[in-house]
């Protein structure tokens, strides 16, 4: 094992552990998904930015870094689209350890893609036993599809989750457009059909009930990982020292042999000189 690289990784793990949120800090809701899945639009609706955007929405790559809005009792975090480029994927992953609840937003174009499944597995591992309750699947733009097709896509996605995650998360069929139009036009039916308020109620319950437990588990998990890394580093250092010690002893032996040989040559030459 490369001691230098291992040392750098250990420093990063220590830094991550020390930068954890306090147990009583505001809970963080993080939105993830493919580019243009509707993450930013959803967060604008949840934060009541109905007429003016806080989280920028466009058909091109708009969010290139994690972007947050702090409300009175919670923080909303927007992330880059998972399929934009590899750097954006890394930036999005940085938000995993900050998340108390995950909104995984999927646009209704079919089943989950490989990059989505891979990312969800990383999020699942971060949440441990709380993954099933704290990862919420959000199907966006349901107003653009027939209800039958929406149901079929949801069924397929939940099958994928069961296969690749080991559980089926809560799933919400969301229309940001209905919600925005309903609020602006004071049309209660559109607000209801959007299911934004249903999602918000679920978020409130989760944030009230189990945020501290999630953070405590994550802290314990990180401590175990950190301890394992420290033990591994100690073992690597011990092996390196043993190897260096062995090499040093071999060098000493070789040096002693050379000195003995040199003394023998000197003695021989001295005798020859005396016999002249």
**pLDDT value, residue 105:** 95
Determine the pLDDT at residue 51. 92
Chain centre to alpha carbon of residue 4: 24
Q: Does residue 248 belong to any structural domain of this protein?
A: no
Instruction: Compute the chain's Rg from CA coordinates.
Output: 30
Is residue 270 situated within a structural domain? Answer: no
Residue 46 lies in a domain: yes
Residue 73, domain extent: 3-227
Handedness of CA 195, 200, 205, 207 (dihedral sign): positive
Could you read off the pLDDT of 70-108 as tens digits, one per residue? Answer: 998 899 999 887 765 555 445 556 667 778 999 999 998
Mean pLDDT in the chain? Answer: 82
pLDDT computed for residue 15 by the predictor? 57
Residues of the chain short of pLDDT 70, as ranges, are 1-24, 59-64, 83-95, 221, 225, 272-276
Supply the CATH number for residue 61's domain.
Answer: 3.40.50.300
CB of 112 within 8 A of CB of 106?
yes
- Residue 8 has a pLDDT of 60
Q: What are phi and psi of 145, to 5 degrees?
A: -130, 155
Tell me if residue 79 falls in helix, strand or coil.
Answer: coil
Given this model, what pLDDT does residue 112 score? 93
**pLDDT tens digits, one per residue of 109-146:** 889 999 999 999 989 988 888 899 999 999 999 999 89
Residue 67 forms part of a structural domain = yes
What is residue 13's predicted lDDT score, i.e. its pLDDT? 52
Bridge pairing between strands 101-107 and 135-140: parallel
Residue spans of alpha helices (H) in the chain: 3-18, 39-46, 86-94, 114-127, 131-134, 147-165, 176-185, 188-194, 196-209, 211-274
Q: Which residue's structure tokens are 């390196």?
A: 240
- Asked, for residue 261, whether it belongs to a domain, the answer is no
Structural domains counted in the chain:
1
Q: What is the pTM of this model?
A: 0.70
- Looking at residue 136, what is its pLDDT? 96
**Residue 213 confidence (pLDDT):** 78
């Amino acid at each position: 094992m490369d001691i230098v690289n291992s040392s750098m990784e250990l420093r990063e793990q220590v830094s991550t552990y020390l930068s954890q949120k306090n147990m009583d800090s505001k809970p963080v809701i993080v939105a993830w998904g493919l580019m243009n899945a509707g993450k930013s639009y959803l967060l604008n609706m949840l934060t009541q930015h109905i007429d003016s955007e806080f989280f920028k929405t466009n058909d091109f790559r708009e969010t290139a870094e994690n972007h947050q809005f702090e409300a009175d009792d919670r923080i909303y975090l927007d992330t880059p689209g998972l399929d934009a480029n590899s750097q954006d994927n890394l930036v999005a992953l940085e938000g995993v350890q900050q998340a108390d609840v995950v909104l995984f937003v999927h646009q209704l174009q079919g089943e989950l893609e490989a990059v989505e499944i891979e990312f969800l597995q990383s999020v699942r591992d971060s949440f441990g036993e709380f993954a099933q309750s704290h990862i919420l699947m959000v199907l966006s733009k349901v107003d653009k599809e027939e209800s039958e097709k929406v149901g079929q896509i949801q069924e397929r996605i939940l099958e994928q989750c069961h296969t690749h995650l080991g559980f089926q998360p809560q799933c919400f069929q969301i229309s940001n457009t209905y919600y925005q139009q309903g609020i602006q036009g004071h049309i209660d039916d559109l607000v209801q059909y959007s299911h934004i308020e249903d999602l918000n109620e679920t978020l409130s319950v989760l944030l009230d009930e189990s945020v501290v437990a999630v953070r405590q588990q994550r802290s314990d998990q990180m401590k175990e990982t950190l301890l394992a890394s420290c033990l591994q580093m100690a073992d690597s250092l011990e092996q390196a020292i043993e190897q260096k010690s062995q090499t040093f002893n071999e060098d000493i032996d070789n040096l002693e042999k050379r000195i003995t040989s040199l003394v023998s040559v000197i003695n021989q030459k001295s005798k020859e000189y005396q016999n002249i």
